[in-house]
Amino acid sequence: MSKEKILANEYWENYPFKIEMLAKKPKNNGRLTQEDAKKLDGELHIHDYGSMDSGMVLRWYWIIDNYSRIVACRYEIFGSPSLRAVADMSALLCRNKTLQEALKINYKSLEYFLRDHPSNPALPDSKQYEILFVLDSINATVLAIEGKEEPSSPIVCECANISQAQVERAIRDFELKSIEDITNYTRAGAFCKSCISPGYGMADRSLYLVDLLSQIRKAMKEEKKLSGDSLVDKPFNQMSLEEKRVAINATIDEHIRAMLVMDGGDMEILEVKNNGEHTDIYIRYLGACSGCASASTGTLFAIEGVLKQKLDPNIRVLPL
Amino acid sequence: MKVYLDNNRLTPVDPQVYNVMKPFLEDIYGDLNGMHYAGAKTRKAYNEAVEKCYASLNASTKDTLIFSSSSTHSNRNLFMSIYIEFILTGRKNNIIVSEREPQDILDMARFFEEQGCRVNYLPANSDGVIDVERLTDYITPRTALVSVSMVDSESGAINPIEEIVEICRSYEVPFHTDATQALGRIPVDFQRLDADYLSFSSQTLHAPSGLGGLFVKGSVELNSLIKNESLNIAGIVALGKALEIASDALGFEVEDMRDLRDELEEGLRELDGVEILVPWALRSPNTLLIACEGVESESMLYELNQAGIACYSATINPFGDYKQRFITDILGLDSKFRYTTVGFALNKNTTQDEIKYTLKAIKDALEYLRSFSHVDVNKIEE
């Protein structure tokens, strides 16, 4: 037991303003018809994800034009208010993206867009699974439209209908350490608890969450050892050029890339140079960012600002 | 308008109760054994409160009442003493609890299982009440305890306690019942019931939460684990008054409450795609549990909360973390109803205006939420 467990759980009263607004007045809910599709000169796709047995259903209405771009996006939902808020935000983000771009929406960027303030998480731990549910539904919809099938994976938790692959991905992506975290992020083990470890419930299983967790944690540890790509623990100005490059890449992945990708752009690092006491970073913009007017002003200052704040004040970013 | 319809979990404190306990919060009061004016004042109020507790449950003078901090605490003490006295010594090897018990009893049952004791869960039938027939299958002379709560805290189903007690008597097995949801709603007579243990809690009696008690039948030998701790005098005085009011209310006030509940029930019965769970005759007079097709519980609670209505759901964190089976599965409804339950528990102060307002708010919320639910509205109407 810890203090966190003694404190009372918070529900709607402390959700961020953004979530509250989206839950109260969702803007993209409703349905699209064939007539709408005709007007927009596209094709209507309807896809259901989830089931009423497990308490969450999301039905996507996507109108897709000839360039496989989602020109209109609406949803119908059976789920909690916070799920509604997450679905509404992701509907907004999906619009005017191609299917491949929609696949690129990840947890970090979606969660970032739901935050009021960059440093406050959007949803409490016990609701994280809703963000993953919406992302999974987008994935499944894109796969269904492209006519592909999801790779099959054994179901770990029947109550919440969660597969082994989903649990594995959550453990890897969020570096989960306990069964409770798994329940928060996937909802596996939230109900009858028979999938957590032997002893709960009557049925014998071949796969328990406890075993799965320890297996994957072990595998992750070994992978980390092998890759050697981990960050070294010393001040930035004492790092070698190669170490600096790794540190800069990690910072960009964590704080910057998500913002660029959401607008259809990206960036890459060309070269890192020591220039006296300064460190010069040469970057190239990709996608929509190349040629964007703010690429040499606002965006550039934002990137430089983040790197200066997180790593070293003597960093200069030079776009090519 | 603010409407509070979550009274199975907590009830607001009655002003009469507050007035009775006020002197013990504001003024000087002494220890029960104090040989002075302050002690005398406490003794008088305490004795009166205990008399009221005995009188309102019609307990015999030979019975014992042990105060604790809540029914949870009482249940836990009882189960621990049963464990030490019977299971640990190897004299008995089995307990029987109903599957719809409060969470704390299910937790204790789990503890018994971990210690290697056999635990049988009495299933509820399709009316939501405990199946008496199954008890005779499970019960043996080596059963240490049978525990079935009097009224289900979510659905309000009234369990056939008297028949269960009869079976327990014939096998000479101790019987415990949790009457937290029953007091002040249905008549409870400890002598006529003939149960060995009966626990109750103050939070459903319009008394401040944090007080409970356990009645033990006079003929039962008391284990040293079950005994009074340092007493919360203000709480006990409040509990005595609250029990007195509750047993007085059983005549008119409960009937009024039942009428209001029925009004709400009739209004909801007319709506499309709304199922009323548990038959009317088997339900406590203040509780109404519904399942609305195509509308998720939490979003329903959210909309009603916007309108100022506090109610509960039997799906999300019902009275604890999890239940073995969903209540809708027990009642034989389709699995699509699992996450759609919303419950309303009235108290004796609920007014007709509040019920009318609630009914309108429920209709509005259903219409709004179904407008973007993936379930086809036209199909529901058919």
- Yes or no, beta carbons of B373 and A77 under 8 Å apart: yes
Question: Do A37 and A63 meet the contact criterion of CB atoms below 8 Å apart?
Answer: yes
- Yes or no, beta carbons of B375 and A78 under 8 Å apart: yes
Cross-strand pairs, B287 = B345
Strand ranges across the sheet with A70-78: A43-51, A56-64, A70-78
pLDDT at B320 over 60: no
pLDDT band, very low/low/confident/very high, at A316 (cuts 50, 70, 90): confident
Measured between beta carbons, which residues in chain A are less than 8 angstroms from residue B322?
Answer: 190-193
pLDDT band, very low/low/confident/very high, at B380 (cuts 50, 70, 90): low
Q: Name the most confidently modeled range: A187-201, B219-233, B246-260.
A: B246-260
Q: Which of A104, A126, A145 is the C-terminal boundary of a domain?
A: A145
Q: What pLDDT shows up at residue A231?
A: 63
Measured between beta carbons, which residues in chain A are less than 8 angstroms from residue B375?
Answer: 78
Q: Report the sign of the C-alpha dihedral through residues B227, B229, B231, B232, in that order.
A: negative
Q: What pLDDT shows up at residue A86?
A: 94
Measured between beta carbons, which residues in chain A are less than 8 angstroms from residue B302?
Answer: 12, 23, 80-81
Q: Which positions ≥6 away from A228 have C-beta within 8 Å?
A: none
Closest-CA residue of chain A to B303: A24
Domain shared by A241 and A218, yes or no: no
Residue A126 resides in a domain: yes
Domain shared by A167 and A298, yes or no: no
pLDDT at B237 over 90: yes
Measured between beta carbons, which residues in chain A are less than 8 angstroms from residue B298?
Answer: 79-81
> Which positions in chain B have a beta carbon within 8 angstroms of at least one beta carbon in chain A?
114, 294-296, 298-299, 302, 305-306, 315, 317, 322, 324, 335-336, 338-339, 371-375
pTM across the whole model: 0.84
pLDDT band, very low/low/confident/very high, at B316 (cuts 50, 70, 90): low
pLDDT for B80-127, tens place per residue? Answer: 999 999 999 999 999 999 988 888 898 898 889 888 899 988 888 999
Q: Report the sign of the C-alpha dihedral through residues B7, B122, B177, B183, in that order.
A: positive
pLDDT for B54-66, tens place per residue? Answer: 999 999 999 999 9
Domain shared by A106 and A31, yes or no: yes
Closest-CA residue of chain A to B115: A199
Prediction ipTM score: 0.87
Beta strands in chain A (DSSP E): 43-51, 56-64, 70-78, 155-157, 162-163, 265-275, 278-287, 315-319
Domain shared by A219 and A303, yes or no: no
Report the distance separating Cα B280 and Cα B285, nearest Å. Answer: 9
Domain shared by A121 and A16, yes or no: yes
The more confidently predicted of residues B365 and A201 is B365
pLDDT over 90, % of chain A: 25
Q: Which of A119, A145, A171 is the C-terminal boundary of a domain?
A: A145
Q: What pLDDT shows up at residue B323?
A: 45
Closest-CA residue of chain A to B341: A55
Q: Quick one: three-class SS letters along A187-215?
A: CCCCCCCCCCCCCCCCCCCCCCHHHHHHH
Q: What pLDDT shows up at residue B310?
A: 95
Domain shared by A136 and A209, yes or no: no
- Yes or no, beta carbons of B374 and A193 under 8 Å apart: no
Residue A118 resides in a domain: yes
pLDDT band, very low/low/confident/very high, at A156 (cuts 50, 70, 90): confident
Residue A54 resides in a domain: yes
Residue A277 resides in a domain: yes
Q: How many distinct structural domains can be found in chain A?
A: 3
pLDDT for A203-260, tens place per residue? Answer: 567 788 888 888 888 888 888 777 655 566 778 778 888 888 888 888 888 788 877 8
- Mean pLDDT, all residues of chain A: 85
Q: What pLDDT shows up at residue B241?
A: 95
Q: What pLDDT shows up at residue B319?
A: 38
Best B6, B112, B302 member to test A by mutation, with max A CBs in 10 Å, is B302
Domain shared by A240 and A314, yes or no: yes
How far CA B155 is from CA of A250, B60, B93, B284, in Å, comes to: 53, 31, 31, 9
Q: What pLDDT shows up at residue B96?
A: 93
Q: What pLDDT shows up at residue A272?
A: 85
Q: Which of A78, A191, A193 sits opposite B296 (nearest CB)?
A: A78
Domain locations along chain B: 3-9+251-381, 15-249
pLDDT for A22-61, tens place per residue? Answer: 999 999 998 899 999 999 999 999 999 988 888 899 999 9
pLDDT at A278 over 90: no
Instruction: Calculate how close chain B gets to A147, using CA atoms only, in Å.
Output: 23
Closest-CA residue of chain B to A57: B374
pLDDT for B15-35, tens place per residue? Answer: 999 999 999 999 889 888 889
Cross-strand pairs, B12 = none
Q: Residue A276's domain is classified under what CATH number? A: 3.30.300.130
Report the distance separating Cα A197 and Cα A183, nearest Å. Answer: 13
Report the distance separating Cα B152 and Cα B156, nearest Å. Answer: 5
Best B115, B340, B374 member to test A by mutation, with max A CBs in 10 Å, is B374
Q: Residue A172's domain is classified under what CATH number? A: 1.10.10.1100
Q: Which domain holds residue A309?
A: 236-319
Amino acid at A279: T
pLDDT band, very low/low/confident/very high, at B381 (cuts 50, 70, 90): low
Question: Do A203 and A194 meet the contact criterion of CB atoms below 8 Å apart?
Answer: yes
Q: What pLDDT shows up at residue B39?
A: 92
Q: Which residue has the tokens 């389709």?
A: B334
pLDDT at A118 over 90: no
CA angle, B216 then B222 then B223, to 5° = 125
Q: What pLDDT shows up at residue A261?
A: 76
Q: Which of A52, A58, A81 sits opposite B299 (nearest CB)?
A: A81
Domain shared by A173 and A268, yes or no: no
Best CA proximity match to B259, nearest among B290, B289, B282, B280? B280
The distance from CA B364 to its chain's CA centroid, rounded to whole angstroms, is: 30
Residue A150 resides in a domain: no
Q: Which of A145, A170, A204 is the C-terminal boundary of a domain?
A: A145
Domain shared by A63 and A119, yes or no: yes
Q: What pLDDT shows up at residue B318?
A: 40
How many helices (H) and strands (E) chain A has is answered by 13, 8
Q: What pLDDT shows up at residue B17?
A: 95
Question: Do B265 and B324 meet the contact criterion of CB atoms below 8 Å apart?
Answer: no
Q: Which positions ≥6 away from B28 have C-beta within 8 Å?
A: B38
Residue A312 resides in a domain: yes
pLDDT over 70, % of chain A: 96
Q: Which of B338, B371, B374 sits opposite A55 (nearest CB)?
A: B338
pLDDT for B132-186, tens place per residue? Answer: 998 999 999 899 999 999 999 889 999 999 999 999 999 999 999 999 999 999 9
- Mean pLDDT, all residues of chain B: 90
pLDDT at B379 over 90: no
CA angle, B353 then B359 then B363, to 5° = 145
Pick the CATH number of B15-249 from 3.40.190.10, 3.60.15.10, 3.40.640.10, 3.30.70.1450: 3.40.640.10
Q: Which positions ≥6 away from B35 have C-beta within 8 Å?
A: none
Q: Which residue has the tokens 């259901």?
A: A48
Pick the CATH number of B3-9+251-381 from 3.90.1150.10, 3.10.450.50, 3.30.160.250, 3.90.420.10: 3.90.1150.10
Domain shared by A130 and A26, yes or no: yes
